[in-house]
A and B are shown apart, each in its own frame.
Chain A
Amino acid sequence: MYKRILITLNLIILLGSSFKEPLTIYNVQKGLVSFRSDAPLELINPISNELRGIVETQKKEFAFSINIKSFSGFNSAIQKEHFNENYLESNKYPTATFIGKIIEDIDFTKNTIVSVRAKGILTIHGVPQERIIKSELTIRNGVISIRSNFTVLLEDHNIPIPKVVHEKLASEIKVEVNGELKPK
């Protein structure tokens, strides 16, 4: 009798692990990342359209990544070179990532506009920082649009500013992310 119960329990547990609900994966179809350094003497405002990202709606997990070398729109070619070579060291740290979980519960099947907080690890220049970033989600007919503005302190990510460019480079960089995600 006991044996039977145990075997049944076993089966239930094993079935439970194999018959989990399938992952509901959305991935970025179109994505833009831009940043803005507003210093007294210079405004630098490059942009990249190479945002990659995945959102799993069951567990509300996400992972986003941007190719550092893909930024363009610098004020000069040499500025772009210095950005890659001296500041972000993009050969060593080719991507910036944000990986974590959405705090709020959202019904991804309904058309809605919600403000959510995303808690995760933001890694730039190889330096991870735990961050809670506010984003606006627009869900329409199974398409998720994400819009997010946040600031990054260069100091937090171990990016020193040489004295000679103090007037040309802001210590606080404003970042804007726009992404459109569709089910995979």
Chain B
Amino acid sequence: MIKSLGILVLSLFIHGICIAQDTSDITKMLEAEIKLAEKNKTEYITATFKTTRLVNGHSLENTAKHVLDVKISHRFGTIIGATGGAYNIFGLDNATMRLGFDYGITNTLMIGIGRSTDYKTFDGFFKWKILRQSKGKISMPVTLSYVPTISYETLNPSDSVLLLDLKRYPSHRLNYSNQLIIGRKFSDGLSLQLMPTIVHRNFPHDDGPHDIYALGLGGRQKLGKRTSFNVEYYYQLQSNRVPGSHDALSIGFDIETGGHVFQLHMTNSQGMTETKFVPGSLNSWGKGEILFGFNISRVFNVGKKH
């Protein structure tokens, strides 16, 4: 009798469990459906970096399709040292600038042109995303981009003390760079990239070789939703490096406000194109020969909705 009552209570209990489970059933069903849908869809990872440049060099980001990105960049003289100090208002007197226009033809191909004060140089490049980091149906751990750059120095030899005695053919004014960018967004905040680079200079202005091989390392850590801390370093391989030069090392902050990205940085390199900064700089971080610089990026929509 007691036994049977016990079983009765147990049955009621089981019955209760069966009812209670029902309420979460459809939520579980929905979750299963979402998971299935995710598996059958490829999701490309976005916003690996805030803009298309890390500091001096390229990040793996492209401007989106039909978006024009106007970049105004400045590098000042060293804060202390020959081009710095209070007399030169800590480098502000020795400003160089680059005006650049980047444009996205598709979401994986962008082109850009620029003009730098240094040697009155024009530059042009394209950046092609060969692989895109993604998850879901197609899972790709990294983004791979190819960035070739060409630059042309238009400075008249008579304007330069260094070049006065040189016979300059048009080809002497050309420099090239070929770069691969392999990068990954590891988390919402952390992105890292490797940039193997070859620079060929038709007529170097230093004692260095024509060809320079370098390996770039770069990354960012987000500090907030709209700010990030960036590092960029280009290591020149020992076999082909400019004698006496110091590898370009830069740190910077990205600050994003609506359509603008402000990049403020400290670097030892005044050059703002690969052909200029990858061969290093005479300034050394060790001796405190660092300079302040900034990039301002403003994007304009040329095309339709996104």
Contacts and interface: CB of A to CB of B under 8 A. Distances in A.
A72 interface: yes
Residue of B11, B64, B299 with most chain A CB atoms under a 10 A cut-off: B11
A165 B47 contact: no
A51 B86 CA distance: 63
B161 interface: no
12 contacts: A13-B8, A13-B11, A27-B29, A27-B33, A52-B33, A67-B37, A73-B305, A77-B64, A78-B64, A97-B30, A99-B26, A165-B258
Interface stretch (B12-20, B114-122, B273-281): B12-20
Contacts of A7: 4
A111 interface: no
Nearest first, the 8 closest Cβ-Cβ pairs linking A and B are A77-B64, A6-B4, A17-B15, A17-B18, A77-B306, A63-B30, A13-B11, A76-B301
Contacts of A27: 29, 33
A77 B65 contact: yes
Contacts, number: 106
Contact of B306 (A18, A63, A74, A99): A74
Given A14-B11, A61-B23, A25 B306 contact: no
A67 B40 CA distance: 14
Interface of B: 1, 4-5, 7-8, 11-12, 14-15, 18-19, 22-23, 25-27, 29-30, 33-34, 37, 43, 46-47, 64-65, 67, 188, 225-226, 257-259, 299, 301, 305-306
A115 B5 CA distance: 48
A77 B18 CA distance: 49
Contacts of A65: 30, 34
Given A17-B15, A84-B47, A74 B305 contact: yes
